[in-house]
Chain A
Amino acid sequence: MNVNYSSYRVETALAVSRTRRDFLRNAAGLGIGGALIQASPLIRAESVRKKRKVVVVTFGGGARDQETFAPEGQENIPHMLNEMAPQSSFFTHVTNQGILGHYVATASLATGVYETLNNFASVAPEHPTIFEYFRRELKRPSSDAWVVAPSNGFHRIGESEVKGFGPGQGARVILPKRLLGLASSGTNTDFEHLLHDNYETPLYTPALAGGEVELQQLEAILKLSVGDFASHARTLSSPDELSLYIAKRLMREEAPSLLWITMHDIDVAHSGAYSLYIDGIRRTDRLCAELWKTIQTEPEYAGNTTMFVLPDFGRDSDFDAGGNGFQHHRTGDPASRTTWMMVLGAGTRQGVVYDTPIQSIDLVPSIGAMMGFSPSQSSGKLIRELV
C-alpha cells in the first residue's frame, strides 16, 4: 500500500469539520458560539417551559459531511443551508461512539445511553427512553409524546421494559408504512414505492400483530378516513414524505409536546447507487424545511417549539479500505461516527456555530433540562450551549 490512508483519514475528518464550520460562517454569516454560552436564552425561557414543545428529526439514515454541510455537499441541502442554518445554533462536531445500526443508534439517541441491542431484532431499548422520563416526571398523558418511525423494526422504540418505567409509560409509535399497508391491504400496488421497509436488510420485515387498532388511529387520532389517507398517499413519492404527512396530521390533531420523527430515505445508499443516495439527501433537506415551516405556522407550535435536526450517524469514508465509501456504515471510522446537529426555534440563539465536541447521547439530558425532567439513567452530558 503506497498511501498512508489512516493518517490521511484523520486529517480529512478534522479538515471536514473545520471546513464545514468555516463554510457556514462565511456563507451564512454565522458567528462563533463559544463566547455566548453564558447568555443562553433558554435560561431566560423558564417562564414558557410549560408550553414548551420539542420536535426531534433524525436526518437519516446516515449522511456524510461531504454530501451535506461540507463545501462540495452544499448543493444538496439548499433549504437547510439558506433557510434554516441562519436561524439555528449549529453544532459542527457531534460524534456517535455506539453501534452504527439505525435502530440501535436511534434507540441510543432516545435513551441517552449507547445501547447494545440487536439492531435487527424486535426488542425494546434497554434503558428508559426520553418519552418515559418526560411523561413520568411531568405527568403527561400518552397523547403528549409520539414517534413517527420509518420501518416496522422501530415499533418498540417508544418505551423500554425497565422497572419503574416501561410499557404504557412511553411514547405512542406510529408506523406510517404499516398503516398504509393495512389501509391498502391486498391492493397495494399503487403504494409499493412508499413501502420500503429497511434498506439494511431489505428482505426482512418483522411481522407485527394488530391491524384494526392501528387503522382506528387513522380516524380517531388523525381524523383521516382510510380512503382519504390512501388517496393522499398516491400523491407522495417516498416513505419519508409519507412520514411527514402523518407528522403534520399529528401536530394538527394531537399537538404532542414531544414529537420524534425518524427519516430513512437516505439509507437507500446501501443499494450502492450514489445518485439515489443524493436524491434521498435532497428530499430530506426539503422535508426538514417543510416541517420547520409547519412548526412556525401551526398555532400550537409557533413560537414555543425547539426543533433538533441531526443524522443518527455518518457513513464510511471514501478512503477506508475496510468499507466501500458512502454505501455502508460498517467501519466505525471517523466519517461514519462524526456528524452535525442543528437546533432551531424557541430559546435557541440564531446564526451561531459551536465547535465544541458533543456526543449524540447528550441530546436526551439537554432536552430534559429544557423541558424540566431528569433522565437519571442517561450517560450523556448537558450541552452547555443549549441549557
Chain B
Amino acid sequence: MLPSDLKAESFAGYPPEARAIAIGHIQALRRLPMAFVPSLLREVIEFDYKFPVERSTIERELSTLDALSDAELHEWFEGFISISLSTGLESFDWVNSPAQFVEQQASHLWSTHQLDAFRKAATDYGDRLNRESKPEPIRLRRIGIAVLGQGVPIYDAPLFRNLRKHGTYLTNVSHQDGLKSLLNVIETRAQGHSQPFAHWYVDGGTPEVHSDLITSVSYDALAPVRNALLKRMQAEIGRPGMGPEELRTVLARLSPSDLKVETTSDPVLSRFELKLFTEGSGTQIYSSTFAQWTSREVLRRAQPLTLLVRYAPRQRQRPMNELLGGGQAQAELDPVGSLVDGEMGAYYQWIDQQRLPESERSGFIAWFENHGEAVAIGPSMPRGAVSNTAVDMEKLFSMVST
C-alpha cells in the first residue's frame, strides 16, 4: 500500500482521537513519501495517549503539511523521496503498525548504507518545521533540577565538571531540608501555573512527600509494573521463534492492561510509565538509568515547566540474567557508582532541556544531596564562576529563576 492509497477506512483500527485526526488530515498524508509517512503515523496512532504539548505539536505539524504547495512539498521531502525501500517494507502493514515499520526501516537503512541520507533528510525536515511552527510562548521560565549522590557521605573527585562551564559552581549551599524546600518551591509554582503535566518530580528510589499538583514517577512505586514486565519478558523468551526483534515488537504492543497492574488511573500517565520500561534500555534493572531515561522522556514529550529528578543508589552490577530475573530480594547497593551515573544524568538533563523552546530563559540546578556543592545555570548566573557565598535552597532557586 502506498500513502496515496490511504482512505478513511485505513484508520479503522486507530483509537478514536487518533482516527479523527488522521482522517482530518488525510489529504496531507496521501501526499507524503513512503519513507516518511510511517514515522508521522507512529506519533498519530498514539494521539489518545499523548501529553497536551505533544498533541499540539502533532496538530501543528499536520496543519503545516496541509498548507504546503506541491512545489514546497517536493522541496521539503526531496531527501525522503530519494530513499529506496525494499518490497518487503512496501508491503508491510505500516498504517496499523507504524512503529514496527520504522524499526524494520532502520535496519534496512543501515544495511543499504542509506542511514546518513535518511538522517540528513530528517534533520532538514525538523529544521524546516521548527522554523515554520510557532509554539505558544511559555508563561513561566522553565526550571530543571537534578539531585544526586544520595547515601554518599564523602566524595573527593570534582563534581559537575561538564556543567560548571555553563554556570556557577557553588560550594556553600545550606542543605538543611534541601529536598523538602525544593518540593515546596515547585508546589508554589504549580499552584500559580496549574496545567496538566507541567510540573514533575522523578525519583530513582522512594519519593519524598509532595503535593498532588506535581506529577510524580518513581522507581519504587513502579516496582509492580517492572516485575510484571520482567516476568512477561521471561515468558516470551521461552516461546519458539522468539528473537530480539520479535521481543521488541511484543513489548511495543503491550498496554498497561496487559500487565494487569495499575499504578495510576490516568491513561496517559499509565501508558507513559509502561513505555519507560518497554522502550528504555537498562531502566528495568538500574534505578539511575531509570531516573535519567525518565528525565529525557519527560522533557522530550511533556516539555514541563518544572522538572526535579532525584537519583537514588542503584543495585550493584551483577550478571545480566540475574538482574533481569529479579531473583535477589535485597540487592547490594552502589551509592558511589550511582553518584557518577547521576552526574552524567544531570548533564544529559540540562542538554535535553536546552533542546526545548525558550531555552535561553531557562534555569538549571544540579545539587549533591545533603552536601554544600551545587551548580546553578541561568541567564543571570555567571558562567565558569565559583561562589563560596552561603546560600539556601530557596535563594538558589530564585537565582536561576530570574
Contacts and interface: CB of A to CB of B under 8 A. Distances in A.
A2 interface: yes
A188 to B, nearest CB: 10
Chain A contact-residue range equals 35 or more
A311 interface: no
A162 interface: no
B359 A3 contact: yes
B233 A274 contact: no
Contacts of B343: 274
Interface magnitude class on chain B: 35 or more
A321 B344 contact: no
Contact of A2 (B115, B116, B345, B357): B357
A193 interface: yes
A376 B389 CA distance: 69
Interface in A297-326: 318-319, 321-322, 324-326
Interface in A1-53: 1-3, 5-6
B293 A272 contact: yes
Interface string B99-122: 000000000001111011001000
Nearest to A192: B319
Interface of B is mostly: helix
A327 B320 CA distance: 16
Interface stretch (A127-135, A164-172, A201-209, A227-235): A201-209
A162 B72 CA distance: 49
A379 interface: no
Contact of B317 (A72, A100, A276, A326): A276
B101 to A, nearest CB: 17
B244 A120 contact: yes
B19 interface: no
Given A3-B359, A195-B319, A324-B348, A271 B286 contact: yes
A97 interface: yes
B296 interface: yes
A328 interface: yes
Given A2-B360, A324-B293, A120 B341 contact: no
B348 A318 contact: yes
Contacts of B337: 273, 275-276, 279
A193 B115 contact: no
A203 B245 CA distance: 12
B340 A275 contact: yes
Which of B243, B281, B293 has the most CB atoms of chain A within a 10 A radius of its CB? B281
Contacts of B341: 272-275
B354 interface: yes
B281 A271 contact: yes
Contact of B282 (A100, A271, A333): A271
Contacts of B233: 203
Contacts of B119: 322, 331-333
Contacts of A332: 110, 115-116, 119
Contacts of B320: 196-197, 199, 202-203
A120 B243 contact: yes
Residues of A contacting B: mostly? loop
A260 B385 CA distance: 49
B332 interface: no
A272 B281 contact: yes
A148 B392 CA distance: 56
Nearest to B120: A6
A257 B285 CA distance: 42
Contacts of B50: none
A278 interface: yes
Interface in A370-385: none
B161 A72 contact: yes
Output the residue of A97, A100, A325 with the most chain B CB within 10 A. Answer: A325
A116 interface: yes
Interface string A236-280: 000000000000000000000000000000001011111110110
A273 B282 contact: yes
B351 A318 contact: yes
Interface string A159-202: 00000000000000000000000000000000011011101011
Contact of A321 (B115, B339, B340, B355): B355
A326 B347 CA distance: 12
Contacts of B113: 97, 114
B161 A272 contact: no
A324 B296 contact: yes
12 contacts: A97-B113, A99-B111, A120-B243, A120-B244, A196-B319, A202-B320, A204-B243, A271-B285, A274-B341, A278-B340, A327-B281, A332-B110
10 A-B pairs with the lowest CB-CB distances in the bound complex, closest first: A272-B289, A272-B282, A275-B340, A192-B319, A271-B282, A275-B337, A274-B344, A202-B320, A201-B244, A116-B111
Interface of A: 1-3, 5-6, 72, 97, 99-100, 114, 116, 120, 192-193, 195-197, 199, 201-204, 268, 270-276, 278-279, 318-319, 321-322, 324-328, 331-333
Interface of B: 110-113, 115-116, 119, 123, 126-127, 130, 161, 233, 237, 243-245, 247, 280-283, 285-286, 288-289, 292-293, 296, 314, 317-322, 324, 334, 336-341, 343-345, 347-348, 351, 354-360
